């Protein structure tokens, strides 16, 4: 049995926000529970109140809005994996979700839970970072938008204040000329990342007109690899330039040693994962090596 708590099931997002601000910091929301229940059982968190968002259809949707996709925070990973809109508009997110956990976990686990749990290894984060996604947060003060790059503040920490709920993720879709890919290093399929990398490139006239790279599990939060990006932007799209830019990843990250891997291993593998993700992204962008 889990530690005791009071259970609340608000009927709307508005009610959930009101409830959370009344209950204060002793309350936690639950969506799929695949992170929260594990942590409660381990005694890492013991909320006095648990507020269930798993029935809120208001935050469970995938909407195509022309040049962007809106994904409700309560959408399950299984729904994302099977969405044609996601496969077409944000294929790199689908690729990452496909490699997460197992079917049994993904039927209840949500994208909002993955982000709000704020694990450095959250696999949905790097793809959303290279897409420059925006997170829509609702709270007692109303609604605000947070660029995903500003959302994570440390392991398990986000900018969410008391009473605030992540409502949706707004993702600009891939455009023609762009290509993206995700690479994950893990001990076995469905396990947490030892390190991961997502890349999105845009190539025109044989040059990288845009290059975005993000990594997971190699810093206190998922991060953008700005030095790698700088070493690519505006330069010819050659394998040599791509290779030397990938080596900059070591300077972008701050890995630790834990049960899944050592700092040194993560450093070396980050370079490899970034290179592989970039190479596949270039091929998907039309394969126009200069």
Ligand X SMILES: Cc1cc2nc3c(=O)[nH]c(=O)nc-3n(C[C@H](O)[C@H](O)[C@H](O)COP(=O)(O)OP(=O)(O)OC[C@H]3O[C@@H](n4cnc5c(N)ncnc54)[C@H](O)[C@@H]3O)c2cc1C
Helix/strand/coil (H, E, C) string of 56-86?
CHHHCCEEEECCEEEEECCCEHHHHHCCHHH
Q: Which of 87, 105, 146, 226 binds ligand X (CB under 6 A)?
A: 105
Q: Which of 83, 110, 178, 270 binds ligand X (CB under 6 A)?
A: 110
Query: Could you tell me if 33 and 56 are in contact, meaning their C-beta atoms sit under 8 angstroms apart?
Result: no
Distance from C-alpha of 116 to C-alpha of 166, rounded to nearest angstrom: 8
Beta strand 134-139 with 207-216 is unpaired
Nearer to other proteins, 61 or 65 (CB): 61
Q: Is 198 in the site for ligand X (CB under 6 A)?
A: no
47-74 burial: b if 16+ Cβ within 10 Å, else e: bebbbebbebebbbebeeeeebbbbbbb
Q: Is 43 in the site for other proteins (CB under 8 A)?
A: no
First to last CA, the chain: 61
Distance from C-alpha of 266 to C-alpha of 272, rounded to nearest angstrom: 10
Query: Could you tell me if 32 and 104 are in contact, meaning their C-beta atoms sit under 8 angstroms apart?
Result: no
CB of 5 to other proteins, least distance (A): 6
Q: Is 5 in the site for other proteins (CB under 8 A)?
A: yes
Q: Which of 192, 231, 269, 271 binds ligand X (CB under 6 A)?
A: 192
For residues 78 to 117, the per-residue mask of contacts with other proteins, x marking binding by CB under 8 A and - elsewhere, is: x----------------------xxxxx-xx---------
Of ligand X, other proteins, none, which one sits near residue 211, judging by CB under 5 to 8 A according to partner kind?
Answer: none
Q: Is 16 in the site for ligand X (CB under 6 A)?
A: no
For residues 155 to 174, the per-residue mask of contacts with ligand X, x marking binding by CB under 6 A and - elsewhere, is: -----x----xx--------
Q: Which of 101, 185, 225, 273 binds ligand X (CB under 6 A)?
A: 101
Q: Is 73 in the site for ligand X (CB under 6 A)?
A: yes
Q: Among 58, 220, 184, 36, which residue's Cα sits nearest to residue 116? A: 36
Greatest extent of the chain over all pairs of C-alpha atoms, in Å: 62
Number of residues binding to other proteins, judged by CB under 8 A: 30
Tell me which residues touch other proteins (CB under 8 A). 1-9, 30, 32-34, 37-38, 41-42, 50, 52, 54, 78, 101-105, 107-108, 189-190
Tell me which residues touch ligand X (CB under 6 A). 28-36, 38, 53, 73, 77, 100-101, 105, 109-110, 112-114, 116-117, 121-123, 160, 165-166, 192
């Amino acid at each position: 049995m889990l530690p005791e708590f009071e259970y609340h099931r608000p009927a709307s997002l508005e009610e959930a926000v009101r409830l959370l601000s009344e209950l204060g910091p002793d309350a936690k929301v639950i969506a799929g529970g695949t992170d929260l229940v594990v942590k409660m059982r381990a005694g890492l968190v013991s909320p006095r109140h648990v507020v269930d968002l798993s029935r809120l259809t208001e935050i469970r949707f995938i909407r195509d809005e022309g040049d962007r996709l809106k994904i409700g925070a309560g959408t399950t990973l299984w729904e994302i994996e099977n969405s044609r809109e996601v496969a077409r508009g944000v294929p790199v997110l689908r690729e990452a979700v496909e490699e997460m956990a197992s079917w049994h976990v993904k039927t209840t686990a949500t994208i909002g839970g993955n982000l709000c749990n704020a694990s450095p290894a959250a696999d949905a984060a790097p793809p959303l970072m290279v897409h420059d996604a925006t997170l829509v947060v609702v709270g007692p003060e109303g609604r605000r938008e947070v660029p995903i790059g500003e959302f994570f503040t440390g392991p398990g920490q986000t900018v969410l204040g008391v009473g605030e709920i992540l409502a949706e993720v707004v993702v600009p879709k891939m455009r023609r000329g762009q290509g993206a890919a995700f690479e994950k290093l893990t001990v076995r399929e469905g396990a947490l990342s030892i390190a991961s990398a997502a890349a999105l490139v845009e190539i025109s006239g044989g040059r990288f007109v845009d290059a975005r790279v993000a990594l997971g599990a190699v810093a206190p939060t998922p991060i953008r690899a700005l030095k790698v990006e700088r070493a690519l932007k505006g330069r010819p799209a050659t394998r040599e330039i791509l290779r030397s830019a990938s080596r900059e990843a070591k300077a972008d990250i701050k890995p630790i040693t834990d049960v899944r891997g050592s700092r040194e291993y993560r450093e070396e593998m980050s370079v490899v994962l970034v290179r592989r993700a970039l190479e596949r992204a270039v091929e998907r962008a039309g394969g126009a090596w200069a």
